Amino acid sequence: MGFPPALPLDTGRASSIVICCIVFPCLAALTVVARFVARRQKAVKYGWDDYLVVLALLALCGQLTILILGTIYGGVGHHNARLSSENIAFQYKVKTLAVLARQHVLNSARYSQQSSSPSGRLSAS
């Protein structure tokens, strides 16, 4: 069992990255809106967890904006053999910013889960 054949150097994945960076935040926004609608219909007061979910959504949109800009201007999604050294350096900057934004998204979601759990503590998983 071997590796699949390599893609030609002129084939890039930039369009797939941009599509994913547009579709998934829309799905996340719909989920957050559904959460607020459900809370309003049940007449439940909004808590810290609701606001932290909105913060996580904003951080997610920021992270994906960074990735889209990296795809458009830095060559993310293309083979490194086709890129200049400036584009490769820009890619590393984009990846660093994306990791930092990802950490912010995960922390906001974790604090949201913590504040909504009955014991106020995260479950061990």
The tens digit of pLDDT for each residue in 40-72 reads: 999 888 888 888 888 888 888 888 888 888 888
Task: List, in order, residues 6 or more apart from 25 with CB less than 8 Å away.
Answer: 57, 60, 61, 64
Q: Is the pLDDT of residue 120 over 60?
A: no
Name the residue range of residue 37's domain. 16-116
Domain tally, the chain? 1
Residue 11 lies in a domain: no
* More confident: 45 or 125: 45
pLDDT at 100: 82
pLDDT at 125: 47
pLDDT at 29: 93
Residue 79 lies in a domain: yes
Residue 69 lies in a domain: yes
pLDDT digits (tens, 9 = 90+) for 6-42: 666 666 778 888 898 899 889 999 999 999 999 999 9
> CA-to-CA distance for 48 and 109, rounded, in angstroms?
11
* More confident: 74 or 11: 74
Q: What is the mean pLDDT of residues 79-96?
A: 82
Residue 2 lies in a domain: no
